[in-house]
Amino acid sequence: MTDSSLKNDVFLRALLREPVPYTPIWMMRQAGRYLPEYRETRAQAGSFLALAQNPELACEVTLQPLRRFPLDAAILFSDILTIPHAMGLGLDFVAGEGPQFASPLRSEEAVAALAVPDMALLQYVFDAVSVIRRELDGQVPLIGFAGSPWTLACYMVEGQGTQDYRQIKSMLYRRPDLLHRILDINARATIQYLNEQVRAGAQALMIFDSWGGVLAHHHFQAFSLDYTGRVVSGLMREHEGRRIPVIVFTKGGMPWLEAIAACGADAIGLDWTTSLSEARRRTGDRVALQGNLDPMALFGDEASIRREARHVLDDFGAPQGGGHVFNLGHGISRFTPPEAVEILVDEVHSHSRRASA
Amino acid sequence: MTDSSLKNDVFLRALLREPVPYTPIWMMRQAGRYLPEYRETRAQAGSFLALAQNPELACEVTLQPLRRFPLDAAILFSDILTIPHAMGLGLDFVAGEGPQFASPLRSEEAVAALAVPDMALLQYVFDAVSVIRRELDGQVPLIGFAGSPWTLACYMVEGQGTQDYRQIKSMLYRRPDLLHRILDINARATIQYLNEQVRAGAQALMIFDSWGGVLAHHHFQAFSLDYTGRVVSGLMREHEGRRIPVIVFTKGGMPWLEAIAACGADAIGLDWTTSLSEARRRTGDRVALQGNLDPMALFGDEASIRREARHVLDDFGAPQGGGHVFNLGHGISRFTPPEAVEILVDEVHSHSRRASA
């Protein structure tokens, strides 16, 4: 089921709940600003967007963390907002302010004009996947990714990051029909986008529902999970004779864990507020779990980093049967000392090997 | 058990799970910037802090929402950061940036120098409680409040609002002894502070653990709930022959609901990501529940505001036996149209009266 040409397929095996010799680890945003070499390449590219749009440089930053740390997976360097950018919303990354859209969706006309973009506009992403896959040369599997339809819609309607989600929730409460149209288009675009990533060489897929957790309890299913589930069911799950595992990560998704686990994904990402043992119980071990160290634990001293890592591992339990991929509960902070990551990876590998012995 | 001199004690009865004719409602931050008359009084005071420190003006803004809407409780106009301000940390409210401390706790020396402040420094708060209680003249009960020891510590160590809680979590992971010292002092100060509010006339108490939900699953008990529980057990629970109910609100507290419900409080506040029926089941109806409309639902049209309000009420179930206080799941947004609140209060009262009939 897994790929014999891969030198390290522990990550894929863990996702498929097959036996593993240790718990694999990768980190959300592992190719990022906490690495001096990343900051150098980004300066060379001129901007975040120029970096993401240059397949060679995107490949370079994707590989940087793997040169430092024995991580068990690579993840495409890109951004979830490439799709709305291709839809013509005009993405820009403003220094210190994060992503902004020049033309957020605020009118019935703007929503009516929205359409699934031509995937040719996203060729730079698929090219980056191909280049990275080639350069990885089977060292570890490559993860492709996209945002969930709801999370994309948050950015598309708000136009930027938000504390209160007032614009999109005003639309949800006043004009749910407009929001459903956006979500439908996002879902269809995301299916095409992720399947193209698989064709270009992605060996696993991750869907980031970063803002699903801000919805009222009774709205999560209709406005977030239903569309994530539609994406999952539209994905190619086999390619080149291999299973392509899909991970769904909903930050703050704890209230809906059972439902998320039933959406068709192979694995569920968890943030640090959830206990892995409780999540195993609630999901009945029907999916693999990915997570869930508090990213701020990397600001501890060596002893506490090792202790917190062991806590996560032990909370899940022995790794032999697979089913656990170690990760942070959210993206790594730009202020993280790289040495902390070295300690973390070492502890995850060595402690889980001991637990498997 | 409840106060016969109170013209409306439905709120207190609901908290004590006694029979009520309808579901009472109040709103977190109901005395606030969404009201033009509040903005006028605040301008008159000159600053947020000047307003909070002037008992007459604090009374005026406390009463403003009650003149507009038939709310079932008043809440002291103040801020949770009065305690650290009295500790000498130098509170300031910077326009558009929220609260900031001139001297955040960043060194072992600063933590060693911290002490429970003289309550005389907080006399303006107790004076405000007395004035409000007198002016309310039994119309509705008056709620006093404080921040949880953990939530206060977040502000005291970060020095301001934060997205990642990096400073306080660095302390948690590196020097938990320092953090425990801060939490211990905060807990002791908060007990004195809330008991003084009761002596001055507060008829119910609320503890805001606004940031408890950012802790890793296995740290919540030790760094947040244990100290909240210590505060609860140190409170006067009877005054002038009446029971003083205590409400604990942990934003994002869903993962620890059972433990929070066992902390000794009469009621638990819930944000909008939790289902009230599920919360009832998980807490075994041992506490009253307060919440939990998405504050953004007030940006809907009239039909959707009424529908969302009914959803919350029906999710809890029939109100006759008490146990439910309607509230938002977080503070009301400054952008909320006051007319939306009028619709909400009307729907909560009329729908729950019908359900009780």
ipTM for the complex? 0.94
Catalytically annotated residues of A: 29, 33, 42, 79, 155
pLDDT at A2: 45
Domain that includes residue A342, residue range: 10-356
- For the record, the structure tokens of B186 come out as 């905060």
Q: Is B33 a catalytic residue?
A: yes
Q: Is the pLDDT higher at B271 or at B357?
A: B271
- Whole-model pTM? 0.96
Separation CA B262–CA B259 (nearest Å):
5
Could you tell me the pLDDT band of residue A4, with boundaries at 50, 70 and 90? low
The minimum CA-CA distance between B224 and chain A, rounded to whole Å, is: 13
φ/ψ of residue A208, rounded to 5? -95, 110
For residue A169, give the nearest of B165, B213, B296 by CB distance.
B296
The answer to whether B29 is a known catalytic residue is: yes
Tell whether A5 is covered by a domain: no
Is A171 inside a domain boundary? yes
pLDDT, mean of residues A205-212: 98
Interchain pair B252, A273: CB under 8 A: yes
Nearest CB to A296 within list B169, B273, B315:
B169
Yes or no, beta carbons of A169 and B335 under 8 Å apart:
no
The answer to whether the bond into A292 is cis (omega within 30° of 0) is: yes
Please tell me the distance in Å from B137's CA to the nearest CA on chain A. 36
Active-site residue, B155 included: yes
pLDDT value at A231 more than 90: yes
DSSP class of residue A166? Answer: H
What pLDDT, on a 0 to 100 scale, did the predictor assign at position B4?
55
Tell me if B2 is assigned to some domain: no
What residues form DSSP beta bridges with B289?
B268, B324
Chain A residues with CB-CB distance to B170 below 8 A: 296, 299-300
Helix (H) or strand (E) holding B111: helix B108-113
**Contact residues, chain B, for A291 at CB < 8 Å:** none
Average pLDDT over all residues of chain B: 96
- Of B141 and B92, more confident: B141
Tell me which of B9, B72, B79, B266 is the catalytic residue.
B79
Considering only CB atoms, which chain B residues are within 8 Å of A170? 296, 299-300
Residue B1 within a domain: no
SS3 A92: strand
Note the pLDDT tens digit of each residue in A247-290: 999 999 999 999 999 999 999 999 999 999 999 999 998 999 99
Percent of chain A with pLDDT over 70: 99
Give residue B3's pLDDT band: very low, low, confident or very high (50, 70, 90). low
Of the pLDDT bands very low, low, confident and very high (cuts 50, 70, 90), residue A42 is very high
> Cβ B255–A273 below 8 Å, yes or no?
yes
Q: What is the CATH number of the domain that holds B25?
A: 3.20.20.210
Look at residue B3 and tell me if it is in a domain: no
User: Of B166, B273, B301, which is closest to A299 when you measure between CB atoms?
Assistant: B166
Distance from CA of A302 to the nearest CA of B (A): 9
Each residue of B198-207: pLDDT tens digit?
A: 999 999 999 9
Walk across the sheet containing A74-75 and list its strands: A74-75, A142-147, A204-209, A246-250, A267-269, A288-293, A324-328
Catalytic residue among B33, B68, B199, B243: B33
Using the predicted structure, report yes or no on whether residue A319 has a pLDDT greater than 80: no
Asked whether residue A101 carries a pLDDT value surpassing 60, the answer given is yes
Minimal-distance CA residue of chain B relative to A174? B300
Whether B172 has a pLDDT exceeding 60, the answer reads yes
Residue whose tokens read 């001129």: A46
Closest residue of B to A272, CA-based? B216
Q: Is the pLDDT of residue A159 over 80?
A: yes
CB-based contact B296 A252, cutoff 8 Å:
no
CB contact under 8 A, A173 and B274: no
Asked if pLDDT for residue A203 goes beyond 80, the answer is yes
- Residue among A357, A352, A268, A344 at smallest CA distance from A30: A344
Strands of chain A (E only): list them.
Answer: 74-75, 91-94, 98-101, 142-147, 204-209, 238-239, 242-243, 246-250, 267-269, 288-293, 324-328
Look at B213 and A335 and tell me if their CB atoms are within 8 Å: no
Express as a percent the part of chain B with pLDDT over 90. 93
Q: Hey, are the CB atoms on A166 and B296 less than 8 Å from each other? A: yes
Mean pLDDT of B7-19: 97
Tell me which of B225 and B163 has the higher pLDDT.
B225
Of B13, B17, B42, B242, the active-site residue reads: B42
Contact B318, B42 (CB under 8 A): no
Read off the pLDDT of each residue in B352-356 and give the average, rounded to a whole number. 89
**What average pLDDT does the segment A9-27 reach?**
97
How many separate domains does chain B show? 1
CA distance B66 to B68: 5
B216·A166 Cβ contact <8 A: no
Residue A214 near residue B296, CB atoms below 8 Å: no
Is residue A239 in a domain?
A: yes
Over residues B74-132, the pLDDT tens digits come to 999 999 999 999 999 999 988 777 899 999 999 999 999 999 999 999 999 999 999 99
pLDDT digit string, tens, across residues B31-80: 999 999 999 999 999 999 999 999 999 999 999 999 999 999 999 999 99
Instruction: Give φ, ψ of A325 to 5 degrees.
Output: -115, 120
Residue A356 has pLDDT above 90, yes or no: no
Partner-chain contact A297 B170, CB within 8 Å: no
In a domain, A3, yes or no: no
Average per-residue pLDDT in chain A? 96
In B, what residues contact A, Cβ < 8 A?
Answer: 164-166, 169-170, 172-174, 213-218, 220, 252, 254-255, 272-275, 294-297, 299-301, 304-305, 308, 311, 315, 329, 333, 335
* B169/A333 Cβ within 8 A: no
Q: Say if residue B1's pLDDT is above 50.
A: no
Closest CA to A291 of A270, A262, A275, A309: A270
- Tokens for B214? 């950012």
Q: What is the pLDDT of residues A161-184, one digit of tens each?
A: 899 999 999 999 999 999 999 999
Omega before B292 within 30 of 0, i.e. cis? yes
Residues of B in contact with A294 (CB under 8 A): 169, 216
Task: Please give the share of chain A, as a percent, with pLDDT higher than 90.
Answer: 93
Query: Which chain B residue shows the shortest CA-CA distance from A212?
Result: B273
Decide if pLDDT at A40 tops 90: yes
